[in-house]
Amino acid sequence: MSKTIMLLGSGELGKEFVIAVKRLGQRVIAVDSYDDAPAQQVADKREVIDMLDGNALDAIVAKHKPDIIVPEIEAIRTERFYDYEQQGIQMVPSARAANFTMNRKAIRDLAARDLGLRTANYLYAASLDELRTAVAEVGLPCVVKPLMSSSGKGQSTVRSEADIEKAWSYSQSGKRGDIAEVIVEAFVAFHTEITLLTVTQKNGPTLFCPPIGHRQERGDYQESWQPCRISPEHLSQAQQIAGKVTEALSGAGIWGVEFFLAADGLYFSELSPRPHDTGMVTLTGTQNLSEFELHARAVLGLPIPGIELLRVGASAVILADKAGTNPSFDGVEKALEQPGSDIRIFGKPTTRPYRRMGVALMSGESDSDVELVRQQAIANAAKVRVVCDELE
Ligand SMILES: Nc1ncnc2c1ncn2[C@@H]1O[C@H](COP(=O)(O)OP(=O)(O)O)[C@@H](O)[C@H]1O
Ligand SMILES: [Mg+2]
């Protein structure tokens, strides 16, 4: 059963997914907006197009006739996915899921209004005036995010009225596409933030990975660890919620379902219908199958007999600090000295400040202290320095 898979978005998560499906004998065309993106380096074929251009997407779909289309990012003309699904192409996890999750409004209204899930209080605003009114209603502090954006782009926290104007202009410069509207969310003073990797299957029950804890800065993840110890009650609540949202969005694949855990309980935050960056911790062998192997099996309809936690693990990002080309990495040998340590260099051809270039991984026996493993991953990431030819 060799299938042709078209991967839309060819970053580091796509690269690991390609490796997982190649190991299962599949053919992959990796697509991105620039050439030599990480997943393209390990795929059979590549295409370089603007994935927000519906005609360009149609053209490569007609050219390669994929059996399965797997989105790796949000910035795609996802409205076209319904058409592809009609044509008999398997959209991962489904056209509906990809289309809903690319817009914060669609997914938030589904979760909070239709499914009645607990989220931070929120309102929408389509102008600076509306933002002032919304902030007054939601209360301070609050978080302002463009409806279409990812990785914290255009997102800021409003702590006083003086921040409102800045938050509006920041949202407008960081948004994707031409929708000006923002979501205004009450700030949740969480003590723990988790990703619950959830696997929906064509023939089989929905499965859950042990929760992953993570820490974010500038809207991007800095480190993650697994398992994140939370109470059995919160875990079962989170699983129920993840089950409900993924069922409502439909389809087969892995999902990263994000939650905040605060003194007053669990809040649903958002979800991605694909492997999650914080889930790179599963590359340390914390589970019998990594999130990429799980995605591969779910997408292909192959059996997943169960998900087992084998080790504890942590990941910490390796970031560039300036814009440049021809990146290379100093200190890798130091980062690999300890038993249980590993590294992934993504192979991105260029750097820019804060760009994620690699990840340091660390794992320990199942009874090791997660806190310690976490510190080791961070220390190992800090040993690696990205050097590059600086751009003028
Ligand atoms: N309402 C909120 N209260 C507190 N922190 C938040 C809130 N919304 C987002 N954050 C923080 O910002 C991060 C990114 O926000 P998120 O909604 O997940 O956007 P993205 O789509 O960019 O991942 C979250 O992981 C969390 O750390
Ligand atoms: Mg997020």
**pLDDT tens digits along 296-310:** 999 999 999 999 999
The residue behind tokens 């890798």 is: 332
Task: Give yes or no for residue 392 having a pLDDT over 90.
Answer: no
pLDDT-derived band at 178, boundaries 50, 70, 90: confident
| pLDDT at residue 97 tops 80 | yes
Confidence of residue 141 (pLDDT cuts 50, 70, 90): very high
For residue 110, how many other CB atoms are within 10 A of its CB?
16
Q: Phi and psi of 251, rounded to 5°? A: 115, 175
Percent of the chain with pLDDT over 70: 100
Q: Return the HEC string of the chain.
A: CCCEEEEECCCHHHHHHHHHHHHCCCEEEEEECCCCCHHHHHCCEEEECCCCCHHHHHHHHHHHCCCEEEECCCCCCCCHHHHHHHCCCEECCCHHHHHHHCCHHHHHHHHHHHCCCCCCCEEEECCHHHHHHHHHHHCCCEEEEECCCCCCCCCEEECCHHHHHHHHHHHHHHCCCCCCCEEEEECCCCCEEEEEEEEECCCCCCEECCCEEEEEECCEEEEEEECCCCCHHHHHHHHHHHHHHHHHHCCCEEEEEEEEEECCEEEEEEEECCCCHHHHHHHHCCECCCHHHHHHHHHHCCCCCCCCECCEEEEEEEECCCCEEEEEEECHHHHCCCCCEEEEECCCCEECCCCEEEEEEEEECCCCCHHHHHHHHHHHHHHCEEEEEECC
Active site residue 152: yes
- Residue 170, pLDDT above cutoff 90: yes
Residue nearest to atom 11 of ligand 1 (CA): 219
165 belongs to the catalytic site: no
* pLDDT of res. 86: 98
Q: Which domains, from first to last, does the chain contain?
A: 4-91 (3.40.50.20), 121-186 (3.30.1490.20), 192-390 (3.30.470.20)
Report the separation in Å between the CA atom of 349 and the middle of ligand 2, taken as the mean of its atom positions.
25
Residue 270: active-site member:
yes
Return the ligand 1 atom nearest residue 151 CA: 22
Catalytic option among 163, 277, 293, 342:
277
Mean pLDDT computed over 164-174: 97
Distance CA 273, CA 88 (A): 20
Q: What pLDDT, on the 0 to 100 scale, is given for residue 177?
A: 85
Average of per-residue pLDDT across 61-84: 96
pLDDT given for residue 257 in this prediction: 98
**Over residues 193-218, mean pLDDT:** 97
Distance CA 14, CA 29 (A): 11
Tell me if the bond preceding 141 is cis, omega within 30° of 0: yes
* Nearest atom in ligand 1 to 153's CA: 22
Q: Which ligand is nearest to the CA of 183?
A: 1
Pocket test for ligand 1, best of 13, 142, 260 (most atoms within 8 A of CB): 260
Is pLDDT of 219 > 90? no
Write down the mean pLDDT value for the chain.
Answer: 97
Choose which residue among 170, 269, 278, 354 to substitute to test ligand 1 binding: the one with the highest number of ligand atoms within 8 A of its C-beta.
269
Q: Is 2 a catalytic residue?
A: no
Ligand 1, pocket residues at CB < 6 Å: 120, 143, 150-152, 185, 187-188, 193, 216, 219, 258, 269-270
What's the whole-model pTM score? 0.98
CA of 73 to the centre of ligand 1 (A): 17
8 Å CB contact between 281 and 314: yes
Q: pLDDT tens digit string along 149-158?
A: 988 899 999 9
Is the model's pLDDT at 32 over the cut of 80?
yes
Atom of ligand 1 nearest to the CA of 120: 1
> Pocket of ligand 1, candidates 73, 123, 151, 155: which has the most ligand atoms within 8 Å of its Cβ, to mutate?
155
Mean pLDDT of 51-67: 97
Asked whether 124 and 183 are in contact (CB, 8 A), the reply is: yes
The question of whether 282 is a catalytic residue gets the answer no
The span from the CA of 135 to the CA of 130, in Å, is 9
Q: Active-site residue 79, yes or no?
A: no
C-alpha distance from residue 334 to each of 326, 338, 339 (Å): 21, 9, 12
Query: Quick check: 249 pLDDT over 80?
Result: yes
